Structure 1
Amino acid sequence: MRDWMILCDFDGTIAVDDVTDALLTSFAASEWMRIEADWHAGRIGSRECMTAQVALIDASQQAVDALLDTMIIDPAFPAFVAEAARMDMSVTVVSDGLDYAIRRILAGYGLDYLPIRANRLLHDGDRGWSLQSPFASPGCASASGTCKCRVARDQATTLLIGDGPSDFCLAGTADYVFAKDRLIKHCRTTGIPHSSIANLRDARALLPRLPGLAGIPAAFSQNLPLRRQMV
């Protein structure tokens, strides 16, 4: 079997809800919604959007931590990581979200040892917050803070697991895709080989079949039956 690197999105894929939106809803001035509308309308890129939104957060470290500690992940993710390790596949969390939030949430499940590639959330020690994007790329098609194509560039064989627009570009170059939600429609529209999943239980069930799935043409890969498996 080829050595697979699994690049897994966080918000909406590992995390049940969008963690960044939860932080903004709870702690940011309402201006964040106008900035969000500009992003949806294509007037600004994802990186510009999130940088401006994070700057609007007014909260103590303790308040942010308390909210993050209420966020839950897909209950199948720990078993998925264990199955990947059993198959000698590495898992990296690749997100256009916030590294601090991802790490704290995963720590609650004993999974904060996983590599994380995401925007860097910085705290000023009082109530202010800012964003840095160490994995941005000047040529990123979606102007994301985390260019997932850049992260994947040096990986020989890549499985992408994702659900939304931040995954669209990488979906076109990854060796195979497990797609949720909006990413399913994108893969079908653009003819990208993929398997549709509802959750990470489905993804775990498909892992043993990955070598064969990666060789199936796009026209036959859109509606593969899923073998349900308890976690």
Structure 2
Amino acid sequence: MQNPVIICDFDGTITKNDNIIAIMKQFAPPEWVALKDGVLSQKISIKEGVGRMFSLLPSSQKDEITQFILEDAKIREGFAEFVAYTKEAGIPLYIVSGGMDFFVKPILAGLVPDDHIYCNAADFSSNHIHINWPHACDDNCTNECGCCKPSIVRRIAPDQEMIVIGDSVTDLEAAKLADFVIARDLLLQKSEELGLSHKPFETFWDVIDHVKEVV
């Protein structure tokens, strides 16, 4: 693989847990569970499900939610070393996340520059949290992704070989475009079912080893 680009998910991939789920468990009324199940079963779009989940939360809880998630989030072992490895190897690394700017960017501060982070934006100016979608689907995607990973891939790496790292159904469409997938959890299961070229991972030490094998 020559001159690859790495596209890496955030929630459940860089972090050990899914931060949106953690926020909902801590702050949301019970209605969030049906929305989450609808997204995971692909019965409702990510954009609709996540938008409606956050609309259950009052904006007045911004500081409390932010403090909670910044303390709760745990970065997966080896990530800082993985970032250092990509820099040394000259491999562009982009974080493409369905998460929200108010926790993704602070958690990655000092590790990944803002212009290499693509995520959604939370607006706290109304009574309830409203999600803005600055990276919506292009004309080639009709999945209502919210943060559309394949659309971002087509924009930032249209003609380059690509490695996708992820864990969930939200990473699947980008994984289908990848030359190589490094996966865990649901994305690993889907990669096996679809016959995608892939390897499993638990830590970013594993990821470093897998990348070295293919570049």
71, 76, 88: which is aligned to 1:74? 76
72, 93, 96: which is aligned to 2:95? 93
- Does the CA-based 8 Å contact 2:135-2:146 persist in structure 1? yes
Greater share of helix: 2
Give runs of ≥4 in structure 1 deviating > 4 Å: none
Match of 1:63 in 2: 64
Match of 2:211 in 1: 207
Q: Return the letter of the residue paired with 2:107.
A: I
* Alignment partners' CA distance in 2, 1:112 and 1:40: 28
- The alpha carbon displacement at 1:142 in A equals 4.0
Match of 1:179 in 2: 183
CA 1:25–1:198: 2 relative to 1, 3 Å: same
Aligned residue for 1:69, secondary structure, equals: helix
Aligned residue for 2:177, secondary structure, equals: coil
- The alpha carbon displacement at 1:37 in A equals 3.0
Q: TM (normalized to structure 1)?
A: 0.83
Q: TM (normalized to structure 2)?
A: 0.88
Q: Return the letter of the residue paired with 2:68.
A: L
Aligned length: 208
- The alpha carbon displacement at 1:41 in A equals 4.3
Match of 2:45 in 1: 45
- 1:29 aligned to 2:33? no
- Does the CA-based 8 Å contact 1:180-1:199 persist in structure 2? no
Aligned residue for 2:22, secondary structure, equals: helix
Q: Return the letter of the residue paired with 1:169.
A: E
- The alpha carbon displacement at 1:161 in A equals 0.4
Aligned residue for 1:95, secondary structure, equals: strand
Match of 2:113 in 1: 113
- The alpha carbon displacement at 1:116 in A equals 1.2
Match of 1:220 in 2: none
Identity of aligned residues (%): 26
Match of 1:195 in 2: 199
CA 1:172–1:38: 2 relative to 1, 3 Å: closer
- The alpha carbon displacement at 1:91 in A equals 1.0
Q: For residues 10-52 of structure 1, what are the alpha-carbon distances to aligned partners after superposition, in whole Å with 9 as ceiling and x for unaligned?
A: 1110011110111112222222122223334443111100111
Q: Return the letter of the residue paired with 2:9.
A: D
Q: For residues 65-124 of structure 1, what are the alpha-carbon distances to aligned partners after superposition, in whole Å with 9 as ceiling and x for unaligned?
A: 2112211111311000000100001111111221221112223xx225252111111212
- Does the CA-based 8 Å contact 1:172-1:192 persist in structure 2? yes
Which has the greater radius of gyration?
1
* Alignment partners' CA distance in 1, 2:182 and 2:25: 29
* Alignment partners' CA distance in 2, 1:41 and 1:7: 24
Structure 1 regions of 5+ residues with no counterpart? 212-231
Aligned residue for 2:174, secondary structure, equals: helix
CA 1:182–1:42: 2 relative to 1, 3 Å: closer
- Does the CA-based 8 Å contact 2:66-2:102 persist in structure 1? no
- The alpha carbon displacement at 1:141 in A equals 5.4
* Alignment partners' CA distance in 2, 1:142 and 1:185: 20
CA 1:52–1:23: 2 relative to 1, 3 Å: same
Aligned residue for 1:161, secondary structure, equals: strand
